Chains A and B, each alone.
Chain A
Amino acid sequence: MKLFIFGFLSGIISGMGIGGGTILIPSLIFFTPLTQQQAQGINLIVFIPVAFAALIVHFKEKNIEFKFVKWIILGGVFGALIGSFIAVNMDSSNLKKYFGIFLLFIGIYELIKKE
């Protein structure tokens, strides 16, 4: 039930256009015995069906700007391979600290950002 609620809340947040993972991953770290990598892996795999559902809606409403997408994905594929390799081979408590630093930047950005 706890897990369902974490998913539900992060889904609401991400549906509003704020990153769901920034809520889900810390929730899993603080309230379950999962490691940083396991929490991140869950966020990645959970994102797939949720993103598919959202994409269908956006595709029908023609909200996707396709002309930029292919080049960004090309660079992204290499980045994703490198970033994931580093993550799965890193010490969990170090990864947690780096994640925290990244999260700190996101939080500051949300506060100072203009609408």
Chain B
Amino acid sequence: MIKDYLQIAYRSIKNRKLRSWLTMIGIFIGIAAVVALISIGQGMQRSINEEFEKLGVDKLIIQSKGELGAPGSGGAVPLTISDAKAIEKVNGIDIVANMYMKIGKAQLDEKIKYAYIVGLPTDEQKELIDEINSYEVELGREIKRGDLSKVVLGINYRTKDIFSRKLRLRDTILINDKEFKIIGFFEQIGNPTDDESIFISEEAIRELYDEDEETTMIMAKITAGEDIDKVAEDVKKALRKEHNNEEGKEDFSVQSPTQLLESFNVILNIMQVMLIGIAGISLIVGGIGIMNTMYTSVLERTQEIGIMKSIGGRNSDVLKIFLFEAGILGTLGGAIGVTIGIILSKIVEIIAKTMGYSILKAYISPWLIIGALAFSFLIGTLSGAFPARQASKMNPVDALRYE
């Protein structure tokens, strides 16, 4: 029986090829836009989540508050090495590491490049930094203790013409007018800022900037089995004492990666909902297109409906035939739309990659595909509901008489 409904519906779609295509185009453009936006959004969220997962759930990140610019630009009251020492003494803290970052000038021959210079600790703190910074040195070796004039560079210095030529191991560049020998290159991190950063030892950066106290970021690993929230509170207490802050008036922040991730995700979600909402408008318009086509179809087939009814077709039969037709229009449109959407998001991914943002990956989950198909079927049937009801309620005698 259902097979019959489907066949009648399918025949009617096929009979009006042009109209059916135009109706489906209306749906599939909308579905394609939504699918592309969702898959890119989810992909981005996944790569960010992965980054944070690598940090682990047993770390705390301490930064100063009141930054007026990009991360690392320094807050109102900078963190210091003594802060790090104070944190080390807190119960439940295993290791503490600090990272000092500055924007500096790199130079080869006459060409100058401004980039982040990151000081990597080489003493016992290195263990923690290695754990947090999961990126490997791809070529050459990493920074070791005593490397005062050695540098490891982001991958872009090796693969792109940042200077007059691509750099190689054992090349020498000037950093803030001091000579450094290249001993390694990091693997690709996925965004130009990181891939164009410059890594030297902590001793070297402190010498370079003549700075013994200040630091940009402090990271702490808690001892296994300790409650991270409690340790975070203790760290806050210790730093309040160090900074002479009253409770609630801290000039620093202590965050676990989970907290950082949550605040990221909130922003990402708001952006996604907004974009998808706007793209979703086109789905409504597409649905209205289906409704329009179905009303027309009901009108054109009035006589046919009359005949069906006069040879014993029930209202529900007529209803189903038209609902199926609308549903098929929606689902077919959705299927084409999903395909185009996937292709679109892949194209965006490739473009982003060539621009250095390999972090922007499209992620197409099976749920997205199933959801999009189900949604387009739903739109089709919902839009078909009124026209189908109109058809099913026709009086057979009037319908037969219709010219």
Q: Do A and B bind each other?
A: no
Binding site for B on A (CB under 8 A): none
Binding site for A on B (CB under 8 A): none
